[in-house]
Chains A and B, each alone.
Chain A
Amino acid sequence: ETGVTQSPTHLIKTRGQQVTLRCSSQSGHNTVSWYQQALGQGPQFIFQYYREEENGRGNFPPRFSGLQFPNYSSELNVNALELDDSALYLCASSPSGGVKNIQYFGAGTRLSVL
């Protein structure tokens, strides 16, 4: 196990709703990255948080937003849900900002938008 925990494990929402996903990073890790993984595809980078600030962002619209807390846990918020938002959302933590550090993934939250 990586020590990265995500909640909830599964979630069902309807189009237009808002959702908050949570991630607790591995002890000692101050950087959290979020990824979206559609069925049959590799994870796609959403954004990264380092010391409570967004450190980089992928090609996702502003309705995808996040937070990182002083204890380095993190939230992913998605507003105005669309059917295509249905995916596995993965959180990964690493020891510091930047990318040349191994990212350790949680088991993910499976979001279904109906």
Chain B
Amino acid sequence: GESVGLHLPTLSVQEGDNSIINCAYSNSASDYFIWYKQESGKGPQFIIDIRSNMDKRQGQRVTVLLNKTVKHLSLQIAATQPGDSAVYFCAETTSGTYKYIFGTGTRLKVLA
């Protein structure tokens, strides 16, 4: 399938530290990217998006960086809190298509 990942990578971070979650996307033609947060028993929740004509976008406590040269996306969370514990997915899409392609996901664990 387009999103394959039998083993979910895990990032453990101390409460109050900054978190960086990375994503390698697959299609060089992708021009819109989104980060979603999924908590246990819930659907994915939108965090932040970025278009391919940008390389950085900031939200509240979150920053997304896009490096099109190496097809890499990252999500930075400042001052990580226990409520940030979840699985984080990046998704990519291309103009003229109708679907998001999701990455494998990264589990973020916030340690007290």
Measuring CB to CB, which residues of chain A are less than 8 angstroms from any residue of chain B?
A: 2, 4, 33, 40-45, 48, 55-56, 58-59, 90, 92, 97-100, 102-108
On chain B, the residues within 8 Å of A102 by CB distance are 34, 46, 49
Name the CB-closest residue of B to A42. B102
Do most interface residues of chain B lie in helix, strand or loop, or is the interface mixed? loop
In the complex with contacts A40-B5, A40-B7, A42-B89, A103-B43 CB distance below 8 A: no
Which residues of chain B have a CB within 8 Å of any CB of chain A?
A: 1-8, 32, 34, 36, 41-46, 49, 51, 89, 91, 93-95, 97-105
How many angstroms from the CA of A43 to the CA of B42 in the assembled complex? 13
Does the CB pair B5–A105 fall under 8 Å? no
> Nearest 9 A-B pairs (CB), nearest first?
A56-B98, A42-B102, A105-B43, A45-B99, A42-B3, A99-B93, A48-B98, A105-B44, A107-B43
Beta-carbon contact of B3 and A103 below 8 Å: no
**Per a CB cutoff under 8 Å, which of A45, A55, A97, A106 touches B100?**
A45
The answer to whether B99 and A56 touch across the interface, beta carbons within 8 angstroms, is yes
Q: With A99-B99, A105-B44, A106-B43 given, is the CB distance from A59 to B93 under 8 Å?
A: no
Complex formed: what's the CA distance from A73 to B99 in Å? 19
Tell whether, in the assembled complex, residue A104 and residue B1 are in contact, meaning their CB atoms are under 8 Å apart: no
